[in-house]
């Protein structure tokens, strides 16, 4: 179907009546034809929003409802995916093609632009959404659903917005910002149309960059952002936050037909979206027993589900979940220390040492199933008696972690392992041996130990060891190459014909371990680059952005890898929430054939990107150009 045919379809559909054909042409141009077969799943209940809606051109789509209503049958002319358009959360039902069908997918940006420009279109579209929700959940349910999932920026923006005329100078604008104690000000023309945005960051970066010469020109036009983010008031918070993050900005102007209505910052949005997680963190802090912490651990999935419904990117959720895991483990540390004090009369907290966490928790990438990747760092002057006390405490600490829900590490990277409980000098000798003479253990352990952070104790011990690792590794790129070559011996789980390669037998038959077969490759290659360049960032997303800023990776490659990382973590994390809700074992195995077609294609594309990224790392450390 060509664009003209799509355009003809739109002009004959009542939703688009009153909109000029010329205005509909870009909508038709950005639309995508989706051809599906009988039985194909457009999306499953619980899948994340596809960032647009589908219009049925031919065929029949059925909503499989579990709200006590009959299945809903959708025919040509009906939209699919309306209920999730407003909330940007998860789909409430499963949508299945009952016969061979043709649909047109409209990216949400097209819908929002029309909503901003045409009041009648906005009213008709919102009415369709409300009607569809009432079909699925009933009239009362539709009100509850909207109040719980849909948060528009118009409800949370700062208004009235403070503005300054474009003909005023920089000093006048800064005086207004100081008077109202605001970090940005909207620049308008004589007709109150938005012309730009001036923020305190603009002043610092642009004005003081060449202070003496800039004193000669204090016009606003020289320093303001001429293309600020502008969004309609009904734009969802989650999407606004995504837009702010994507464009690396701090603010978005809320406007209607280029007239400013308010302003909202990324920090404002985060406070709203993660409000429940703050409450949960307070619950962790107030817990005083292992049983209470066990309840906290087992209910983390509820907070995870809430954040999935209120945040677009899983990579933004994982640091919050990781922080909660760290808070729980710190409480376990203190409870264990009190128990040990009561039993022995020795307060280990008074002995200088550091308990370190390693791996995903240290990178702030932990999901719902982190195990015990931890260790001790002792000062070089520790006595044998002090070490004995700490090792006894460590055994009790490990048992308490396991009781709460943190399984013991099958690789024995724990405080109970003497190799993981060492003085600073001992650690340096130990790690230096891995790097100089790597064996299977050194390569395997380094992928966890090299990402380390403080859980409790002397932070200087952690920094001394991290500095040693950076210095040692930067001089031994051959070791990093061996790690990546070890990764290359594992297969990316997709065949040359585009088929998923799954476990053939055993407990996880038909599934893929997306941590081992996908996520670990991104983490390992990114770690290799940052260690070689002596960069201190731990989080994979931050590492990738740092590598781009330092021109180690191109902007395009960074964007592709970030997208692949998001896809894989999103699929794993959402699956873990479902596993936890169903009382199943929480792990990182996923059955790709149980994913919707949309997520299957996302995963295939991500796996191809990961394969290319691993090749990039191998070529780099072998001395070849990208």
Q: What is the pLDDT of residues 21-30, one digit of tens each?
A: 888 888 888 8
190-204, 245-259, 302-316, 489-503: which has the minimum mean pLDDT? Answer: 302-316
- Residue 278 in this model has a pLDDT that exceeds 90: no
For residues 131-137, give the mean pLDDT.
71
For residues 527-547, give the mean pLDDT.
93
* 145 vs 309: which has the higher pLDDT: 309
Ordered by where they begin, the domains of the chain are 3-149 (2.60.120.10), 163-266 (3.10.580.10)
Q: What is the pLDDT of residue 188?
A: 94
Torsional sign, CA 347, 351, 352, 355: negative
Q: What is the pLDDT of residues 253-274, one digit of tens each?
A: 999 888 999 999 888 887 776 6
Q: What is the pLDDT of residues 402-447, one digit of tens each?
A: 999 999 999 899 999 999 999 999 999 999 988 888 777 778 888 8
Query: Quick one: which H or E segment has residue 480?
Result: helix 477-488
For residues 530-535, give the mean pLDDT.
92
Q: Identify the CA nearest to 53 among candidates 21, 71, 31, 20.
A: 31
Q: How far is CA 245 from CA 24, 143, 310, 311, 506, in A?
A: 29, 30, 15, 12, 42
Q: What percent of the chain has pLDDT over 70?
A: 92
Confidence of residue 101 (pLDDT cuts 50, 70, 90): very high
For residues 1-10, give the mean pLDDT.
72
- Residue 9 in this model has a pLDDT that exceeds 80: no
- Residue 90 in this model has a pLDDT that exceeds 80: no
Q: What is the pLDDT of residues 376-414, one digit of tens each?
A: 999 999 999 999 999 999 999 999 999 999 999 998 999
**Burial per residue of 77-92, b for 16 or more beta-carbon CB atoms within 10 angstroms, e otherwise:** ebbbbbbbbbbbbbbb
- Residue 577 in this model has a pLDDT that exceeds 80: yes
Query: Quick one: which H or E segment has residue 34?
Result: strand 32-36
CA distance 333 to 455: 9
Q: Is 389 left (phi over 0), alpha (psi -120 to 50) or beta?
A: alpha
Confidence of residue 148 (pLDDT cuts 50, 70, 90): very low
- Asked if 251 and 201 count as a contact pair (C-beta separation under 8 A), the reply is no
- Residue 42 in this model has a pLDDT that exceeds 80: yes
- Residue 85 in this model has a pLDDT that exceeds 90: no
Q: Scanning the structure block, which residue is given the tokens 């406007």?
A: 255
Q: How far is CA 595 from CA 66, 188, 600, in A?
A: 19, 48, 6
- Residue 6 in this model has a pLDDT that exceeds 70: yes
- Residue 68 in this model has a pLDDT that exceeds 60: no
* 231 vs 340: which has the higher pLDDT: 340
Q: What is the pLDDT of residue 143?
A: 45
Q: How far apart are the first and last CA of the chain?
A: 39
| Residue 283, phi then psi, degrees to nearest 5 | -65, -40
pTM higher than 0.85: no
- Residue 141 in this model has a pLDDT that exceeds 50: no
CA distance 144 to 595: 28
Q: What is the pLDDT of residue 13?
A: 75
- Residue 52 in this model has a pLDDT that exceeds 70: yes
- Residue 147 in this model has a pLDDT that exceeds 50: no
- Asked if 183 and 129 count as a contact pair (C-beta separation under 8 A), the reply is no
Complete DSSP assignment for 120-164: HHHHHHHHHHHHHHHHHHHHHHHHHHHHHH--BGGGTSB-SPPEE
Q: What is the pLDDT of residues 449-497, one digit of tens each?
A: 999 999 999 989 999 999 999 999 988 888 999 889 888 777 889 888 8
For residues 583-588, give the mean pLDDT.
95
- Average pLDDT taken over every residue of the chain: 87
**Burial per residue of 35-55, b for 16 or more beta-carbon CB atoms within 10 angstroms, e otherwise:** ebeeebbbbbebbbbbbbbbb
Q: Identify the CA nearest to 567 among candidates 543, 591, 598, 538.
A: 598
Q: What is the pLDDT of residue 531?
A: 94
Q: What percent of the chain has pLDDT over 90?
A: 52
Q: What is the pLDDT of residues 324-381, one digit of tens each?
A: 999 999 999 999 999 999 999 999 999 999 999 999 999 999 999 999 999 999 999 9
- Asked if 187 and 173 count as a contact pair (C-beta separation under 8 A), the reply is yes
Confidence of residue 235 (pLDDT cuts 50, 70, 90): confident
Confidence of residue 626 (pLDDT cuts 50, 70, 90): very low
Q: Please enumerate in sequence order all residues whose Cβ is within 8 A of that of 383, keeping only pairs 6 or more positions apart, or say none.
A: none
Confidence of residue 138 (pLDDT cuts 50, 70, 90): low
Q: What is the pLDDT of residue 88?
A: 59
- Residue 591 in this model has a pLDDT that exceeds 90: yes
Q: Identify the CA nearest to 263 among candidates 154, 168, 189.
A: 154
Helix, strand and coil in the chain, % to nearest 5: 55, 15, 30
CA distance 509 to 592: 12
Q: What is the pLDDT of residue 361?
A: 94
Q: What is the pLDDT of residue 144?
A: 44
- Residue 239 in this model has a pLDDT that exceeds 50: yes
- Residue 7 in this model has a pLDDT that exceeds 70: yes
């Amino acid at each position: 179907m060509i664009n003209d045919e799509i355009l003809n379809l739109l002009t004959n559909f009542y939703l688009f009546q009153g909109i000029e054909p010329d205005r509909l042409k870009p909508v038709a141009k950005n639309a995508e034809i989706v051809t599906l077969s009988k039985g194909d799943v457009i999306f499953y209940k619980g899948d994340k929003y596809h960032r647009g809606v589908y219009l049925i051109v031919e065929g029949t789509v059925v909503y499989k409802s579990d709200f006590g209503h009959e299945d809903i049958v959708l025919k040509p002319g009906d939209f699919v995916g309306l209920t999730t358009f407003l909330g940007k959360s998860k789909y409430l039902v499963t949508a299945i093609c009952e016969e061979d069908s043709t649909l047109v997918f409209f990216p949400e940006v097209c819908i929002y632009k029309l909503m901003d420009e045409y009041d009648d279109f906005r009213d008709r579209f919102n009415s369709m959404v409300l009607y569809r929700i009432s079909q699925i959940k009933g009239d009362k349910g539709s009100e509850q659903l909207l109040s719980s999932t849909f948060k528009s920026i118009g409800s949370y923006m700062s208004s009235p917005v403070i503005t300054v005329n474009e003909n005023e100078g920089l000093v006048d604008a800064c005086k207004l910002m100081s008077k109202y104690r605001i970090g940005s000000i909207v620049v308008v023309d004589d007709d109150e149309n938005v012309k730009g945005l001036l923020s305190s960051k603009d002043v610092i970066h642009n004005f003081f960059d060449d202070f003496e010469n800039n004193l000669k020109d204090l016009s606003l036009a020289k320093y303001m952002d001429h293309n600020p983010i502008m969004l309609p008031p009904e734009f969802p918070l989650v999407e606004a936050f995504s837009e702010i993050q994507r464009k690396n900005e701090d603010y978005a102007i809320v406007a209607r037909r280029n007239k400013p209505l308010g302003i909202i910052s990324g920090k404002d949005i985060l406070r709203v979206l993660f409000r429940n997680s703050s409450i949960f963190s307070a619950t962790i802090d107030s817990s005083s027993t292992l049983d209470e912490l066990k309840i906290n651990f087992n209910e983390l999935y509820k907070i995870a589900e809430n954040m999935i419904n209120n945040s677009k990117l899983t990579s933004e959720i994982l640091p919050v979940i990781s922080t909660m895991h760290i808070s729980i483990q710190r409480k376990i540390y203190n409870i264990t220390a009190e128990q040990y004090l009561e039993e022995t009369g020795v307060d280990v907290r008074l002995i200088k040492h550091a308990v370190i966490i390693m791996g995903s928790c240290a990178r702030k990438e932990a999901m719902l199933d982190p195990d015990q990747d931890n260790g001790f760092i002792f000062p070089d002057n520790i006595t044998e008696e002090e070490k004995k006390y700490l090792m006894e405490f460590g055994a009790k600490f490990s048992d308490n972690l396991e009781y709460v829900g943190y399984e013991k590490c099958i690789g024995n990277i724990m405080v109970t392992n003497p190799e993981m409980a060492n003085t600073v000098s001992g650690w340096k000798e130990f790690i230096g041996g891995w790097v100089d003479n790597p064996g299977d253990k050194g390569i395997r352990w380094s992928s966890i130990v090299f990402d380390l952070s403080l859980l409790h104790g002397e932070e200087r011990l952690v920094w001394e060891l991290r500095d040693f690792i950076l210095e040692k590794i930067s001089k031994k790129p051959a070791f990093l190459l061996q790690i990546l070559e070890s990764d290359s011996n594992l297969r990316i789980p997709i065949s040359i014909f585009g088929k998923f390669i799954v476990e053939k037998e055993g407990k996880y038959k038909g599934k893929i371990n997306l941590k081992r077969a996908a996520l670990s490759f991104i983490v390992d290659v990114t770690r290799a680059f940052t260690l070689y360049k002596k960069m201190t960032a731990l989080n994979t997303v931050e590492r990738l952005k740092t590598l781009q800023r330092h021109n180690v990776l191109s902007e395009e490659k960074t964007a592709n890898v970030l997208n692949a990382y998001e896809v894989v973590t999103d699929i794993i994390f959402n699956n873990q929430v479902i596993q936890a809700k169903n009382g199943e074992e929480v792990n990182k195995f996923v059955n790709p054939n149980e994913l919707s077609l949309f997520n299957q294609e996302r995963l295939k594309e991500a796996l191809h990107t990961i394969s290319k990224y691993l090749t990039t790392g191998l070529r780099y450390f072998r001395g070849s150009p990208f």
